[in-house]
Amino acid sequence: MKLMRVGEVGAERPAVRLSDGRVVDVSARFKAFDGAFLGSGGIDKLRDALAKDAGAFPAVDVSKNRIGAPIARPGNIIAIGLNYADHAREAGMEIPKEPIVFFKAPSSYCGPNDTVLIPRTSVKTDWEVELGIVIGKNCAYLKDEAAAKAVIAGYTIVNDVSERAFQIERGPTWIKGKSARTFCPTGPWLVTADEVADPQVLTMSLKVNGELMQNGSTGTMIFGCHHVVWYVSQFMDLEAGDLIATGTPPGVGMGFKPPRYLKAGDVMELEIQGLGTQRQAVGQA
């Protein structure tokens, strides 16, 4: 299934994109797509309800409704740095021996097509297309990668927008460069894990003003999705609804010579195979 939310900020309604492309509003039966929904078996309950009578749910015209992030604001947004060897090289950094883990503030979370705002003092705002993992069960100290696979609710697109001066030049704490408002566009859908046969074979791309900047594949990750979930669980409790951004392929603005960064008026377009597309205009905070 493809779970999504539609409506204005703070008033999003749960919806599902059906296999024929129609979108139906399921809010009359399911109050929210959030951690409580995921952790209580909500995906299975929703699947059963649709199988019994999908026609009972009213259609939604997404062309006339804002698309929000597919899951309500997560408790944690966990990110993995330098998880593509070729991206590590373009950044001039060593290939990590273990996953590099950092956080994005949950307040950076926004819809897939919302305007991305450049911070007031920013001079180096950058783009990063990433595969996002949504956790479906509370867990800790997972035994192995098979156990990690079992707690994944699904996958989505994340734009890990980054302010490089804040991130790199103002101390070693990456969260400063990752957490401005609108720095985590997510969606349009949460594609449930059963519909992603292999998360390590997905093509991914990002364009700025129509120019292809990133063109990669999740197959070149250093640490695969299941390993990342297992690894993070050894250091912290993961909760249903948490989002993990798994790293980006080469082609970020910082890697160009000279570097290229976003400015107001730019437009970013992101795509990951089977997970839909995003489009964000860039504005100024």
Asked whether 105 and 175 are in contact (CB, 8 A), the reply is yes
Tell me what the mean pLDDT of segment 92-105 comes to: 93
Overall residue count recorded for the chain in this entry: 285
pLDDT in tens, 155-175: 999 999 999 999 999 988 899
Please check the confidence at residue 88 and state whether its pLDDT lies above 90: no
**What DSSP letter does each residue of 60-97 carry, written as one string?**
--GGGS-EE-SSSPPS-EEEEES-BHHHHHHTT-PPPS
> What pLDDT sits at residue 89?
80
* CA pair distance 1, 14, nearest whole angstrom: 13
Closest CA to 232 of 109, 84, 105, 78: 78
User: Given pLDDT bands bounded at 50, 70 and 90, which one contains residue 119?
Assistant: very high
User: Given pLDDT bands bounded at 50, 70 and 90, which one contains residue 94?
Assistant: confident
* CA pair distance 130, 158, nearest whole angstrom: 5
Tell me what the mean pLDDT of segment 238-247 comes to: 98
Percentage with pLDDT > 70 across the chain: 100
Instruction: Output the CATH code of domain 71-284.
Output: 3.90.850.10
Residue 200 buriedness (CB in 10 A; 0-12 / 13-18 / 19+): middle
pLDDT in tens, 5-53: 999 999 999 999 999 999 999 999 999 999 999 999 999 999 999 999 9
Give me the chain's average pLDDT, please.
97
Q: Which residues of 143-154 are buried (b: 16+ CB within 10 A; e: fewer)?
A: eebeebeebbbb
